[in-house]
């Protein structure tokens, strides 16, 4: 009976523990999380936890973990992996032996590096969210650095609770890496309508603390003052433990198609890892996407149980801002041209084709679940890797299901 020890107690890690137990792993499972909380969902942090003050849904209660005989070390930080003697050192200098190890240490918020960057807040976990929420109040002016998904979700949530919000983005447009320009325009226009000021092409010089609040000086000599400054400038895979243990690192803990690191007894899943994707010529990527973390957890479970499962799921991401929900399948940056398909209800789905006219991405934005079905069908079409006819893709009268069957 082999034991499995999991570092991290969030999305990918807790799912792995639960799936393994469901599927009859007969050794001990130890789940180690440094946060002082039972495992919870991260996506609601920038959404309902801020606007409604809701607690995020739990991934599992402490009782459920106990019932399933998963040993949960809450509030314990792993300080070192000793691969030679197969044991971990915890921050309190306790040692824990392991047979198999799974790293799911996630990612941390990228920090600004300009003078005064220590005055900026970041939001990545529940404690940071609760601290941020306690500072939000009607009329306060929040300055957000970065118009990516998290920055814009924070902008929408802060606006919903009555703050004045200014977003500063260094790139010429919002959501630059993640969605086609047309989708970004719909999102930008919704923010504008809701009173968020978004300024693109803006370079920060420094941040200064005032008696009350902060001033941000821009490179064009202009300055902006506000009560709070928050940075949402993407995330960095949390690789320190793996790197110190001598595992291969390539923009994340490097894993093979089976989620296995350069040490066959150690797996890595979720935001902390980088992996080759078979749908994109084995190009290595590192994604911070909720469903990818879940899919990789499922893949690792199968491999830990002795099956041979390659990770091949089509990446999918969603973001909720005001009443809009935006969904992206695969990565639009891989597309060479974009084919719009405007449905009879006015919603447009943007399909991305590569050089060989294969579908590599799909993105759409609309109220509530309005794009869910089309993006789901697009995911299935992407997975087939069939060559597509652009005229058919853009024809709203042609059912996407038909293309899937053809
Ligand atoms: C605010 C926010 C909003 C998001 N919204 C969306 C969304 O709308 N759509 C979407 O698709 N994705 C979203 N995501 C991304 C999604 O939540 C992540 O992809 C997912 O949580 C990744 O899971 P993970 O287990 O790999 O890492 P994480 O959830 O980051 O968890 C890693 C855990 O490991 C712990 N840990 C790290 N080092 C150690 C150590 N040495 N010892 C012990 N514990 C350690 C960390 O404290 C953390 O609890 C969002 C993320 C955030 C932060």
pLDDT digits (tens, 9 = 90+) for 63-113: 999 999 999 999 999 999 999 999 999 999 999 999 999 999 999 999 999
The helix (run of H) or strand (run of E) holding residue 327 is: strand 324-330
| Paired sense of beta strands 273-277 and 253-254, if any | parallel
Average pLDDT in the chain: 95
Measured in whole angstroms, how far is the alpha carbon of residue 66 from the centre of its chain? Answer: 28
Task: Specify the pLDDT at position 331.
Answer: 82
- Please compute the mean of the pLDDT values over residues 268-288 and round it to a whole number: 94
- What is the percent of the chain with per-residue pLDDT over 90, rounded to a whole number? 94
187-213 mean pLDDT? 97
> What pLDDT was estimated at residue 123?
95
For residue 308, report the distance from its CA to the centre of ligand 1, in Å: 26
Indicate if the pLDDT at residue 280 is higher than 90: no
Tell me what pLDDT residue 330 has: 86
pTM: 0.95
Q: What CA–CA distance (Å, rounded) separates 19 from 298?
A: 7
8 C-alpha to ligand 1 centroid (Å):
9
Residues 124 and 232: beta-carbon distance below 8 Å = no
Please check the confidence at residue 154 and state whether its pLDDT lies above 90.
yes
| CA nearest neighbour of 105 among 248, 251, 7 | 7
pLDDT greater than 90 at residue 221: no
Output the CA 63–ligand 1 centroid distance in Å: 22
Distance CA 302, CA 308 (A): 7
Cβ neighbours of residue 154 closer than 8 Å, sequence gap 6 or more: 46, 50, 123, 142, 144, 230, 232
For residue 333, pLDDT beyond 90: no
Q: Is the pLDDT of residue 177 over 80?
A: no
Q: Is the CB of 107 under 6 A from ligand 1?
A: yes
88 lines ligand 1 (CB under 6 A): no
Q: Could you report how far apart the first and last alpha carbons of the chain are, in Å?
A: 48
Q: pLDDT class for 214, splitting at 50, 70, 90?
A: very high
SS3 55: coil
């Amino acid at each position: 009976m082999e034991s499995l020890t999991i570092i991290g107690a969030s999305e990918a890690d807790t799912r792995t523990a639960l799936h393994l137990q469901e599927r009859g792993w007969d050794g001990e499972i130890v789940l180690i999380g440094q946060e002082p909380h039972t495992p919870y969902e991260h996506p609601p942090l920038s959404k309902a936890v801020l606007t409604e003050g809701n607690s995020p849904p739990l991934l599992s209660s402490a009782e459920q973990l106990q019932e399933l005989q998963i040993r949960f070390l809450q509030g314990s930080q792993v300080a070192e992996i000793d691969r030679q003697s197969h044991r971990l050192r915890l921050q309190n200098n306790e040692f824990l032996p392991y047979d198999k190890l799974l790293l799911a240490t996630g990612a941390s918020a990228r920090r600004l590096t300009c003078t005064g960057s220590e005055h900026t807040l970041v939001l990545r976990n529940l404690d940071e969210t609760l601290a941020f929420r306690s500072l939000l109040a009607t009329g306060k002016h929040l300055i957000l650095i970065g118009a990516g998904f998290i920055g814009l979700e924070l902008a929408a949530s802060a606006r919903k609770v009555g703050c004045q919000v200014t977003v500063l983005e260094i790139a010429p447009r919002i959501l630059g890496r993640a969605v086609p320009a047309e989708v970004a325009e719909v999102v930008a226009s919704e923010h504008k309508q809701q009173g968020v000021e978004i300024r693109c092409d803006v370079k920060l010089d420094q941040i200064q603390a005032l008696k009350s609040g902060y001033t941000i000086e821009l490179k064009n000599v202009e300055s902006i003052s506000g009560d709070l400054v928050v940075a949402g400038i993407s995330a960095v895979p949390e690789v320190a433990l793996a790197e110190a243990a001598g595992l291969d690192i390539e923009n994340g803990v490097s894993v093979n198609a089976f989620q296995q690191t350069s040490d066959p007894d150690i797996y890595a899943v979720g935001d902390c890892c980088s992996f080759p994707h078979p749908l994109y010529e084995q190009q290595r990527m590192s994604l911070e996407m909720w469903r990818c973390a879940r899919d990789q957890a499922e893949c690792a479970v199968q491999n830990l149980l002795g099956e041979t499962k390659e990770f091949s799921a089509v990446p999918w991401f969603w973001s909720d801002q005001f009443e809009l929900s935006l969904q992206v399948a695969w990565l639009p940056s891989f597309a060479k041209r974009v084919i719009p398909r405007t449905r009879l209800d006015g919603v447009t789905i943007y399909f991305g084709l590569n050089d060989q006219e294969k579908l590599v991405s799909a993105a759409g934005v609309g109220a509530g679940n309005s794009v869910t079905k089309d993006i789901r069908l697009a995911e299935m079409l992407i997975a087939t890797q069939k060559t597509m006819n652009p005229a058919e893709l853009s024809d709203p009268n042609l059912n996407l299901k038909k293309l899937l069957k053809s």
